[in-house]
Structure 1
Amino acid sequence: MFDSLMAWLSETFTEILTWLKDLLLWIPRKVYEEVLDGMASFFESLPVPDFIIQASSALSGISGNVLFFAQKFAVGEGIILILSAYILRFILRRIPFIG
């Protein structure tokens, strides 16, 4: 009887410690998730800069031959990378102690 009581207490204590460990691991994950959600909502609320809209309208008058080679050399992806780097630089310059 004493052995079964000790086994039950040991099992219950192990379950409580497992629950406590899961809780202590869940809290930082939840905080990290909320921080990332806040950052995502911040970036989604930023308006599209005018130079991106102007760049897309400026590139619409290019002939088919030039577009063929531009597609082969991935000029479109390069322009997207450069413009997103400018946006990231703009955002980072607004953060105190970094920019």
Structure 2
Amino acid sequence: MQKIIKTYLKSLEKIIDAKSIYEMSKEDIFDMNSFHASEVYMLTEEDDRFLNIRASHFVVESGYSENHAGKCFLISANHKGIRLFSLLLDSSQDSSH
């Protein structure tokens, strides 16, 4: 199941691509603040790189954005004390919030 989820997430449009909070622009922060989670999943790997983030545990939040039409996913993980975030969009799915 994790492989299916990972393959699906890799196919989505990247709104934010593996950035720390220090690397985010004002637009990125605006997109992060407009995201609302409705479900949370955990993906585990053996110290792997996923969506340009290296870690062994990835938190996947699914939900919607006030700024984008479709279902959104916020992925985050911490590697050596730095948390990175990727925000993904599936515009083919209704966010149904």
TM-score bin (small chain): under 0.3
Higher normalized contact order (CA 8 Å, seq sep 6+, divided by chain length):
2
Using the size of structure 1 for normalisation, the TM-score is 0.24
Q: Which has the higher strand share?
A: 2
Greater helix share, structure number: 1
